[in-house]
Structure 1
Amino acid sequence: MLDIPLLVRVHLDALMAAQIDMGVCDAIERNRPVGKPTAMSAPHLPKVAGIDPSVPPPAHTPAPLPTSAPVTTAAPGAVIQDRLAGWVSDLTTLHELTERLARTSLLDDALDELLRAGAALVGARRGLVVLEPADGLGPAVTTGLGLAHADLGHIETVPRSATPYGRILDGLPGADGGSDLVGEAGGGPDPRHREVAARLGYAASYTLPLTTDAGVRLGAVVWLYDEPAEPAERRRHLIGLYLGQAAEHVDRLVELDRARTRLATVTEELLPSRLPRVTRVQLAARHRTGPHGGGDWYDALALPEGALGLAVGSVTGSGPSAVAAMGGLRASLRAYAVMEGEDPVAVLSDLELLLRLTEPARSATALFAYCEPARRKIVLAGAGHTPPLIVGERRTEYVETSLSAPLGMLACWEAPSVEIEPAPGETVLLYTDGLLHRTGDPMDRAFARLHAAAASVPRAAREDPGAIADHVLRTVLPDGLDASGGAEDVVLLAARFA
C-alpha cells in the first residue's frame, strides 16, 4: 500500500471537490500551487516500495521575495476549502430558514416569518410585505416588520408608481426590484417618498417580487435600511433562493385561506342574520367557525302566541359536507318547531327520523327549548347535547336534563323533556361542546371551568346577555375566541329573561 503523506491527500480531495463545481481544467489552472509542498521539494523523496526515485534539481531558482513586503502564500486548496465551507454554511442557513417557514400553517404567520428571515439574510432591521395576488381574488394583506400600523399608513400615502414595490404590483417598467436610495440624491423624484422616508428614518430599501415558479405574482417584499446600503452579491443570491421557496409556500397558504374564507362565509349565511325581538327576553349569540369548517349551529325564532324557540346543535364531521348537513338540519328544525314547537320531544323525534333517512352515516347533537317569556317558562329536550347553564344573582347551575344518545343513533325517542322557570334577571346559556373542547381540558374540568366563568360575571354585566357571553368566552378561552389555534367551532347563545 502506498504511504502518501496526509498533506498531499488533503489537497487532492479539495482539488477533486473543486473539479465537480468548476471543471477539471479550470480547477487545475486556478489551484496550481505557487510553491511546492515540503515533502515534494526535498532533493530525494522517501523510498516507496523499494524504489529510490531521484529528482533532478530545478532548472531555475525562484527569486527571493522582498523583505520589506512579505507575502504569505496560502496552501494549495485552502481557498477552495474556505469557499466550500462558505457554501455549506449558506446552504445550512437556507435550509433552517426554509424549514421554519414550512412549519407555518397560517398565512399571517408565514408572512411574519418571511420578513424576519429575509431581514436576517439581507442585513436589515425593518421591512414590509404587500400581498396582492395578480388574479385579484385576494386576500390583500400588508404586514410590517418593525413598523407600526401608523408607519404602514404613512408608506401607503406614497404614490405606488414612486415606490419599487408599487411598480412590481402594477406591472410597470422597472418592476424587477433591487436596491433603491430614497435620499435627495437618488431614489426617485417624488417628494412624498422622500418625506415619508425621512419621517420613518430609512435611507435605502431593497425590494424583490414574490413570484412563484409558474410566474404567478403574489406581491412584493421590501426591506428598509437606516443608512444608504445594499446587500452584497452573496446575500442577494441567498435571498433570491429563499424567496423562491417562500413564494411556493405562501401560494399554497393563499389558496387555503381562500377556501376557509368561502366556507366560513357559507356557514355564516346558513345561520341567523339577526336575532328576533321578543317581549321580556334579550338575546345574544357568539359563533366562530374552526379552520376546517364545522357543523355547529344555533337558532332563535319567534313562534305563535308570543313564544320563542331556541336551538343549538352540532353535526359530526367537518368541511363542506358537514356545513351542508348542518344547513339542512337547521332548516328542518325550524319547520318542525313551527308545527309542534310546544313539544320539544316531538320536534327532536322528527329530526331524528329525518337524519336517519337523509344522512344515515352521520350523527348530530341538538337541544331545543320552547320558551314562554310571559310566564318565564322553558320546556326543553336534548339529544346527546351539553346541558344549559343558568346564570343569576343567587345561582349558577347546570340544568339537569335527561340523558339521551345523539340524533341518528336511536331506534326511537325515549328521553323526556325538562321544564325550568328562570327567575327575573337570570340568563340561560346554550352552547355546543366545541366551547369545552377548545379549552384543551378533560370534559369534567372543562365543565367546571365554564361554571366558574359564568359565576364570575361582574354584577354590572349581568343585565346584558352579550356582555355575559363575552365575559364567559374570555374567561374560558384565555387565547380569545378569535384565536386561530382551536380546531373546533364555538357557539354560545344567551337568553336573559326580564
Structure 2
Amino acid sequence: MGVCDAIRHNAPVGKPTAMSAPHLPKVAGIDPMVPVSTHTAAPTETALSAPGAFLQDRLAGWVSDLTTLHELTERLAGTTTLDGALHELLAAGAALVGAGRGLLVLEPADGSAPSRTIGLGLAHAELGHIETVPRDTTAHGRFLDGLPDTDTPLASPDILGDPGLDPRCREVAAQLGYAASYTQPLATKDARRIGAAVWLYDEPARPLERQCHLVEVYARYAAEHLARLLELERTRAEASAITEELLPGRLPRFPGVRLAGRHRASPGGGGHWYDALPLPDDALGLAVGSVGGSGPSALAAMGRLRAGLRAYAVMEGEDPVAVLSDLELLLRLTEPSTAATALYAYCEPDRRTILLAGAGHTPPLVTGERRTEFVETALSAPLGMLSCWEAPSVEFTLHPGETVLFCTDGLLHRTGDTMDRAFARLHAAAAGVPKALRQDPGAIADHVLRLMLPDGLDGSHGTEDVALLAARFD
C-alpha cells in the first residue's frame, strides 16, 4: 500500500493529550501509520542529549513528507479530465489536513469556464445548504470575489463557538454536523484565481503547521494543473464548435431514403466529416472523408475539401470517379502537404442503386434482415498521395429496408483493436442490430457505436474523430 493509499484509508487521530481541555480545538492529524514527520514542537531533553538522533529523525520526517507530496502530485498529474482532477485534489487535500469532508468551488476569475462545485462526503442537497450561507461571509467566497487580504489559507477551528461568524454559517454547520473548517485558495503563479477548497471537521480542530504547509505546496501545483486542464477543455470546446459548424446542420429529407449522421471531434479537433446533398434528376449524393492531422489546420483543410466535393458533386455527381479525381487535383494544388481520404456515392433512391468510388477510405457496410456485408471497393491510395488519381467505381443495388453505413477509420481506431479485429467487430455490431431498431437509421447508428465503443466516444482511445453516416432505403 502506498503512502497516498494509506492516508486515504486511515481515519484521523484523536485529540492530542496536550490539548484535551474542554472547548479547546483539537489538532487534526494524519494517521500515524503514514510515515510523515510529526516533529513540530521544540526538541525534548532526550533529543537535546542526542542531537544526531534528533536530526536524523527530523530528516526522516522531511523525506516522508516529500514522499507523500510526490505520490499525491503523481496521482494528480495522471488525471486527464477536469472533473477527475477536481475530485483527486479534494480527496488528497482532505487526507493531508486530516479532514473527512469538504467541497471545492471552481470559479476562474477570467470567466474561462462556468462555475462548478463538487463535494467530498457531502450530498448534493448538503452542498445546496452550504451555498445558502452569504458568500461574503465565507473565506472561499471572499477569495473568489477578489476581496482584499483573502489570498491566504484560513482555519476556522471552532465554528459553533465563534460569535464573530455569520449566524447562518453556524446554523448550517450545526445542521450538517461539522464544527471546523480549513480553506485553501487555488491560484496560479501569475496570481490568477481559479477556485478554492474547503475541508470540514466533525469536531473543533485545527491542522498542524506542517500539514498546512504540505497542503499549500500541493495546492500550488494543483492550481497549475487545473489551469492547464481548463485551457485544454476550452480548446476542445472551441474545436468541437468549429467542427460542428463545418458539418451539415441538418440532413436533407429525401423521398425513399432516411438519413442519420453521428460525429464526435477528437480532443485536438480532427478533420473527419460526412455530408449529404440533393442532386439533379432526383439523385442524392452521400460522402464521408477525413483529413490527416488535427487542430485548426486540419479543420480548415476539411472545410475546404468538403466544399470542393460539394461543388464537383453538383457539376458531375453521376460520375464518382470524376468527382474524386477533381478533388485529388484540388488537394494537390491547394493542400500539397495534406493527405486525405474520401468516399463519394451517387444514389438513385427510386431504383435503390448506389454508384460509389473511394480514395483510401473504409468501405461502406450494407446491413439488413437478409445480409450484412462490406461493399467491395477498388483499392486506391488516399487523396494527395498519387500524381494522378483514378480508380474504377462500384455499383450495387439495395433490397427494401436495407441500410448503408459509411464511417471514417476513426471509429475503427478508437476500438484499440487491430484493423482486422475492428472490421470484424463493426460487422458483428451491424449484424446484431435488433429488428425493432432497423426502421430507424439513427437507432442503427447509435447501436453500432455502443457496441464498437463500450467506453463511449470519450473513451481512452479517443484520439481521433468519429464520423458515421447511415442511409436507410425504403
| Superposition TM-score, scaled by structure 1 size | 0.81
Please give the per-residue CA displacement for 1:442-470, whole angstroms capped at 9, x wherever unaligned.
Answer: 11110001111111111111111111111
2:30 maps to what in 1?
none
Matched, 1:302 2:278: yes
Distance across 1 between alignment mates of 2:100 and 2:64: 22
Rate the CA distance shift 1:112–1:418 in 2: closer, same or farther, 3 A: same
1:446 maps to what in 2?
422
- Aligned pair partner of 2:165 in 165, 188, 212: 188
Larger Rg: 1
Matched, 1:87 2:44: no
2:100 maps to what in 1?
125
Contact 1:363 1:406 (C-alpha < 8 Å) held by counterparts: yes
Q: CA deviation at 1:355?
A: 0.3
Q: CA deviation at 1:353?
A: 0.5
- Aligned pair partner of 1:99 in 74, 85, 90: 74
Distance across 1 between alignment mates of 2:435 and 2:182: 55
Please give the per-residue CA displacement for 1:159-199, whole angstroms capped at 9, x wherever unaligned.
Answer: 423432222111235634422355475583353x5565455
2:339 maps to what in 1?
363
Q: Which amino acid aligns with 1:143?
A: I
2:447 maps to what in 1?
471
1:62-461 correspondence runs (5 A)? 75-172=50-147, 175=150, 176-180=152-156, 181-183=158-160, 188-191=165-168, 193=169, 196-198=172-174, 200-461=176-437
Q: CA deviation at 1:402?
A: 1.2
Contact 1:168 1:177 (C-alpha < 8 Å) held by counterparts: no
SS of 1:274's partner is: coil
Distance across 2 between alignment mates of 1:419 and 1:78: 87
Q: Which amino acid aligns with 1:357?
A: L
Rate the CA distance shift 1:196–1:371 in 2: closer, same or farther, 3 A: farther
Q: CA deviation at 1:201?
A: 4.0
Contact 1:206 1:223 (C-alpha < 8 Å) held by counterparts: yes
Distance across 1 between alignment mates of 2:106 and 2:299: 29
Q: Which amino acid aligns with 2:140?
A: Y
Distance across 1 between alignment mates of 2:249 and 2:87: 34
Contact 1:139 1:254 (C-alpha < 8 Å) held by counterparts: no
Matched, 1:481 2:454: no
SS of 1:230's partner is: strand
Rate the CA distance shift 1:283–1:134 in 2: closer, same or farther, 3 A: same
SS of 2:75's partner is: helix
Distance across 1 between alignment mates of 2:278 and 2:178: 60
Distance across 1 between alignment mates of 2:260 and 2:174: 49
Q: CA deviation at 1:326?
A: 0.6
Deviation larger for 309-318 or 296-305? 296-305
Q: CA deviation at 1:484?
A: 5.4
Distance across 2 between alignment mates of 1:275 and 1:320: 25
Rate the CA distance shift 1:199–1:375 in 2: closer, same or farther, 3 A: farther
Please give the per-residue CA displacement for 1:418-438, whole angstroms capped at 9, x wherever unaligned.
Answer: 112222221111000010011
Q: Which amino acid aligns with 2:78?
A: R
Distance across 1 between alignment mates of 2:305 and 2:447: 30
Contact 2:90 2:103 (C-alpha < 8 Å) held by counterparts: yes
Rate the CA distance shift 1:380–1:94 in 2: closer, same or farther, 3 A: same
Q: Give identity over the alignment, percent.
A: 71
Contact 1:431 1:491 (C-alpha < 8 Å) held by counterparts: yes
Structure 1 unaligned spans of 5+: 1-29, 35-70
2:33 maps to what in 1?
none
Distance across 2 between alignment mates of 1:150 and 1:397: 52
Contact 2:291 2:340 (C-alpha < 8 Å) held by counterparts: yes
SS of 1:305's partner is: coil
Distance across 1 between alignment mates of 2:427 and 2:159: 59
Contact 2:401 2:472 (C-alpha < 8 Å) held by counterparts: yes
Across the aligned residues of Structure 1 and Structure 2, the Cα RMSD in angstroms comes to 2.4
Q: Which amino acid aligns with 1:75?
A: A
Structure 2 unaligned spans of 5+: 1-41
Q: CA deviation at 1:76?
A: 3.9
Deviation larger for 116-125 or 146-155? 146-155
Rate the CA distance shift 1:156–1:492 in 2: closer, same or farther, 3 A: farther
Please give the per-residue CA displacement for 1:333-374, whole angstroms capped at 9, x wherever unaligned.
Answer: 111111111211111111011001111111110001112222
SS of 1:124's partner is: coil
Q: Which amino acid aligns with 1:168?
A: F
Deviation larger for 172-181 or 99-108? 172-181
Deviation larger for 309-318 or 198-207? 198-207
Q: Which amino acid aligns with 2:93?
A: G
Contact 1:107 1:254 (C-alpha < 8 Å) held by counterparts: yes
Contact 1:202 1:227 (C-alpha < 8 Å) held by counterparts: yes
Rate the CA distance shift 1:428–1:184 in 2: closer, same or farther, 3 A: farther
Distance across 2 between alignment mates of 1:186 and 1:437: 62
Distance across 1 between alignment mates of 2:110 and 2:254: 46
Distance across 2 between alignment mates of 1:479 and 1:210: 32
Deviation larger for 132-141 or 272-281? 132-141
Q: CA deviation at 1:327?
A: 0.7
Task: Figure out how many residues of one structure are paired with residues of the other and give that number.
Answer: 431
